[in-house]
Structures are given as structure tokens and as C-alpha cells.
Amino acid sequence: MTAGGEARFEFRVWGDRLDGVSDWLGALAEAGEVRESAETYVVSTVALDANPKVRDDLLDIKRLVDVRDGFEQWTVHRKVVFPVGARELADDFFPLLGVAPSSLDREAYTMSDLVDELVAPHPDLAAVDLTKRRQMYMVDACSAEVSQVRIRGRTIQTAAIESTDLDALREVRLGLGLETNDNVSYPRAIRALLGGQFAVG
């Protein structure tokens, strides 16, 4: 497993209509690329400070390290290409999620092994597949996105701003009119969507 990258502050909102955010970003900055992806998130009933996801056969784990003025600071904790060793899962992955694996019978686990054998049957974990279509922007020192997320048969909009520059983020959040909104990360949003019903695959 490898780690690295500077910790970045993030502010994310969700809603059925975020057209105002798109309009404001479009007025300030030229739209960047559109990114489409299929991803699998692992969420826990126990821990909200870890954000593991799988994309392109890579296990990407971010960890919440600080919260300031409503902004969450996330750092890249680990990135590892499958298969992942059982010891790495036991020593790092599951402790971050606040749970113990039911068993680790293999020396290494592919993505499907991890999801099907260790995550899906666990009462405190869920593996959730989703697709994203993200419109990217750059505003001063901040990156921004407005996304369509398809999850469990439902399409939801989400918008986020992120940067290492907290002052710049405050200005962008104010311009977007989001200063009174709650900051809701992917793990929190997915947990709310599941309604506490885990071990559902």
C-alpha cells in the first residue's frame, strides 16, 4: 500500500436541484472536463472518518483528519491495486472502519473477494455501487464539481469545492450561498440513503 498527497479541505452539498450552483460556477470560471466513472464505496455503521472506495481496480482510502469552520480536511491514507493482502486488510483497512473481519481465509483478496466475502455479509458494512458524471471547474485556488450520481436506482445531484487554501474556500462557499448548508461527505450521504440497513450487498 502507498500513501501520499497533501490533505485538502472539502465542502459538499446534496440536493435534487443545484442549478444555482452550476450557474454561479459557470459565470466565474470556464467549465473543465466532464469525468464519468463507476465506483464502489464501502461504508460503516461505526466509523465516518474513513472513506474507502474502489475505482478502476484501485482501493483508494481517504481519512478525515480535521474539521474547521464546517470544512472537512481529508487526506489520502492508502492507495493499493488489487489483489490486497490479508494482513493489510486486517491491520489497516478494517480497523479504519471500526470493525473486525469475520474471517480472512485467503492470502490476498481481489475486489470481488473483498466485497462479496468480507464486506457484503458484515452487519456493520455495506458495499454500494454508483456511477458519477462530474462537471469540473476551477475557481481561484479551488477545484469544484457539480455531479449527477446514480445510486440504488436514484439519481441525485451533488456539488463540492475543495482546496488546501481554507480562506479561498470560504470565499467560494459564500459566493455560492452555501454558508448555511451542512457539509455532507459521501459516507454520510450513502449511510443516510441506506437508512441504517446494512449487510445488503
* Mean pLDDT for all residues in the chain: 91
Q: What kind of fold does domain 8-194 have according to CATH?
A: Hypothetical Protein Pfu-838710-001 (2.40.320)
Handedness of CA 135, 47, 49, 196 (dihedral sign): positive
- Looking at per-residue pLDDT, the higher value among 20 and 178 belongs to 178
3-state secondary structure (DSSP) of residue 43: strand
119 touches 44 (CB < 8 A): no
56: left (phi over 0), alpha (psi -120 to 50) or beta: left
Lowest-confidence range among 47-56, 77-86, 118-127, 192-201? 192-201
Q: Is the pLDDT of residue 9 over 60?
A: yes
3-state secondary structure (DSSP) of residue 121: coil
Nearest to 126 by CA among 33, 69, 8, 46: 46
What pLDDT score was predicted for residue 1?
A: 38
Question: Hey, where are the domains in the chain?
Answer: 8-194
Which of the 8 DSSP states describes residue 152? T
Over residues 143-169, the pLDDT tens digits come to: 999 999 999 899 999 999 999 999 999
State the Cα–Cα distance between residues 174 and 101, nearest whole angstrom. 43
